[in-house]
Structure formats: structure tokens, C-alpha cells
A = this chain, B = another copy of it.
Amino acid sequence: MVELDFDKAGGLVPAIAQDAETGEILMLAYMNRLSWEKTLETGIAHYWSRSRSKLWKKGESSGNIQEIREIRVDCDEDCVVLKIHQVGGAACHTGFRSCFYRRVEDGRLEVDGEKIFDPEEKYGGRK
């Protein structure tokens, strides 16, 4: 199995999810050794949720999983790129295709990303 350097940053390695077809960067999350092994084993992206301190199969409840097309590893083995197919089309919990749906423009953030779903409708809330 390909080994990563999990020691450099407290057991975690940043993983960049990139749309395999368009090259758009969709999100960044973190992996511990368990998530890395699960990802390699299943071909589905698994991360480590820092807020919940648990293994996080992206899209586990919504079905919007990330199918791995290619995995790339950097020179120091402390960062990976996952080229993926995003089921459902949106990687961000806000409903945008990418978490990077805003760009810096004249000293402020301008929304120019594509919105795929309404999080209120998808995750509930006021109905």
C-alpha cells in the first residue's frame, strides 16, 4: 500500500477533491490513516471529520458520494489530490458545486459559483 506521512501534521493529511472531468477544485478535507485505507480499498472518498472526530464517508447520508477516478500524491507524501466524480453534482454543504464558490474581488468576496441544490430543502429546516 502507498504510505503517506501522517506524522507531520498530527495524524492528518490534506486531501484536495478535484472534478476529474473539468479540473475544478471542489473541496479540501483531511484524511487520517483509516480514511486513506478506506479510500484505497473502496474507491470511494473517505475523510476524517475534525469537528466530529470520526470517519466520514462523504455523501454517506445524502447518497452524494465521490467516486475516485485517480489519486495523486505530492513530493513529500503529505498531501493528496483525489480526481473524482461527484455524484449529485455538488460537493459543498451549501449546495454549490464547489466549496470555493467565491472569489476575491476588490477586497471582498463575490459569489460566482454554480448552485446545484437548496440546502434548506435538502437537509430540512423550516418547511
Question: Is the pair B14, A107 in contact by a Cβ cutoff of 8 Å?
Answer: no
Pairwise interchain contact B73-A2, C-beta atoms closer than 8 A: no
- A→B interface (CB under 8 Å): 1-2, 14, 16, 18, 22-25, 27-28, 40, 70-76, 79-81, 92-94, 96, 99-104, 107-109
Q: Is the CB of A14 within 8 A of B28?
A: yes
CB-based contact B74/A93 at 8 Å? no
Q: By the criterion CB–CB under 8 Å, are A103 and B70 in contact? A: yes
- Distance in angstroms between the alpha carbons of A9 and B12 in the assembled complex: 12
- Using known A-B contacts A1-B107, A16-B16, A107-B1, determine if residue A72 contacts B28 with beta carbons closer than 8 Å: no
Q: In the bound complex, do residue B100 and residue A81 qualify as a contact, i.e. CB atoms below 8 Å apart?
A: yes
